[in-house]
Amino acid sequence: MSVGGKVAVITGGARGVGAATAQLLVDKGARVAIIDLEESQVVFDRGSASVLSLKGDVTDANDMAVAVEKVLDHFGRIDIVIANAGVAARGSTVRASSTQVNDRLWDINVGGVFTTVRACLPSVIANRGHVVLLSSVFAFLNGAGTLPYAMSKAAVEQLGRGLRVELASHGVTVTTVYFSLVDTEMIRRSVDSDPTAQKLLGTLPRPFRKRITPAEAASAIVGGVERRKARVFRPRRWAGVSALRGVVGMVLDALQASDATTQAMLRELDRRDGEGRLTS
């Protein structure tokens, strides 16, 4: 699928992975509509004929319907939807978590993805287009210490699997993207500023702690669209872990349950007592 001349909708496209993906698509000749909660954060020139910047809340179905209508009025079609908007939360255990923070995370990471895709589907189907969903390696890794986030990404994975089947007869393809750590402001706020989270991640083997840049993430996403790939992993080694998740998962679960460092860090998170906050 050549992206040249196509119209792509990207949520959360004002910065980070979304902005890098939008820039790459424009560089390849696509027209891009960026929908973000804070329109003032959009980094593209408003005068560009290839970019439409809109303010919209992915958790609000009416907001998204209005935004999609504006995209159709401006560009006349939607070929690609990239449900990128998402948040993370400060590490905590279930016992120490904040119900309010968890509910909002779920609304954005799951409800927002669902609402975004549903709003764009009529035009995407009409153009036999493509859907991109951003999951995470935490869809299949043990999410202890960040369970609401991990659960939300597992839900996105399931949405991708289901949509791939539901939309097959319409000629629409779906890519589910699995990144580990991308060097974005969200990761710097939720991980780098939290010594306990850093120590917990440090229990993973070093090769799996490698970060990628937003530009590398964007290249993976756009490459997945161009090849209509079902799944994209970065770093690529995570593909093997996913393929063997039934075995690898059980081994890693057992190791984490018995690892003294992991358990010590989880005890620290237990003491946070509802002080979690969202980062985007």
Catalytic residues, by residue number, are 149
DSSP 39: G
Distances 137 to 9, 49, 88, 113, 220 between C-alpha atoms, Å: 24, 36, 14, 17, 15
Cα distance between residue 120 and residue 65, in whole Å? 8
Cα distance between residue 245 and residue 49, in whole Å? 45
- Find, among 276, 259, 273, the residue nearest to 202 by Cα: 259
Contact predicate 20/182, CB 8 Å: no
φ, ψ (nearest 5 deg) of residue 76: 90, -10
φ, ψ (nearest 5 deg) of residue 52: -120, 125
Angle between helices 112-126 and 147-166 (to 10 degrees): 20
